[in-house]
Structure 1
Amino acid sequence: MSNGTEDLDNLIALMAKLPGLGPRSARRAVLHLIKKRALVLMPLADAMHKVGSTVRECINCGNVTTSDLCDICQSEKRANGQIAVVEDVADLWAMERAGVFKGRYHVLGGTLSALDAIGPDELRIPKLIDRITTDSVTEVILALGATIDGQTTAHYIADQLPNVTVTSLAQGVPVGGELDYLDDGTISAALNARKAL
């Protein structure tokens, strides 16, 4: 671009850092924002500034919020003794979208990984253990991915919680999934987690 476009170049470069956007997509997005300046660009800029200055991590569970405690942790209706342990906030939001879990959450902030030198203290595992001992927790649901790191993390957490019921999400065939399109690990997990009809 020409010399008078440093701010645009900077905006495009920042947009290109977003997941799913490369330089071309970022340019298209910026052009769209410019064309819809009053309708989209200015409200978006205001919303981003507000979120950037107010959002923080819930001191209890690790969810994102604009106060010390998120709405889920503040809700007495969610204090049913269940805590779902998730890897990150996106997983929490996915479970909330499903609308079936009515307990509280604990966001780890990642999974254990020897290769990346991520141990329990780099995650929110000590905080989870503190919550279990101080709150009236009856069940910890390990809602972690079916990756090696996710399963290693789940086993580590389960070993740290001997006085509470620890469960994990069922794994296997997704709703609407066809066996022909599934990998061997998914088929194996589905077969091992089978139940009576």
Structure 2
Amino acid sequence: MRLLSVTDLSAAKAQLRQEMRRKRNEMPPEEKKKLDQAMCRALTESAAFQQCEQLFCFLSLPKEPETDAVIALALEQGKTVAIPRCLPECAMAFHQLSPALPLDQQTESGTYGVREPRLTCPVLSPGPEKRVICLVPGLAFDRRGGRLGYGAGYYDRFLAAFPHMLKIGYAASAFLTECVPMEPTDQRLDGLATEYPLEVWNG
């Protein structure tokens, strides 16, 4: 397989982002709602989810797979749940949620209009001795662990810092592609959660 130049790689990523954003925008709301429910059920019924002790989970944007239900179930099951806050230089910190408070009381509008944890929520790092899942957003994924993010590199930096986590992409199967263009700094995932049974390739 021919290696792409930096310019070709950037162009391939931009083209795939455009294609997947269009696919997101064209999905009827009722279809998305059914997929969200099926994805939540498939993930939370999986052995990996049942066994995990800490869940690091993104808060979804309107066009992304909805994660509030996943978070609620994890808290109900006594798992430690943390959600991300953007920091300078495209870094992230995750803050722990309290099971005693509604999610909307623990979040506020932050970077790019994304919901973020309030600073009153304590910062949490993935415990090296814990069974940890990090649920990762993206526009496209492949079964080699490839992921196409939004281009800023927030998750790539975080995932590289905590390699012991089980890194799971979260997307409907319609956003699975044969091969995602990858750069050396792009972090490969360990599995993929869709509306079908959870796939884990590593870990």
Query: Normalised by the size of structure 1, how large is the TM-score?
Result: 0.28
**Pair member with larger Rg:** 1
Higher fraction of helix: 1
Higher fraction of strand: 2
Greater relative contact order (Cα < 8 A, sep 6+): 2
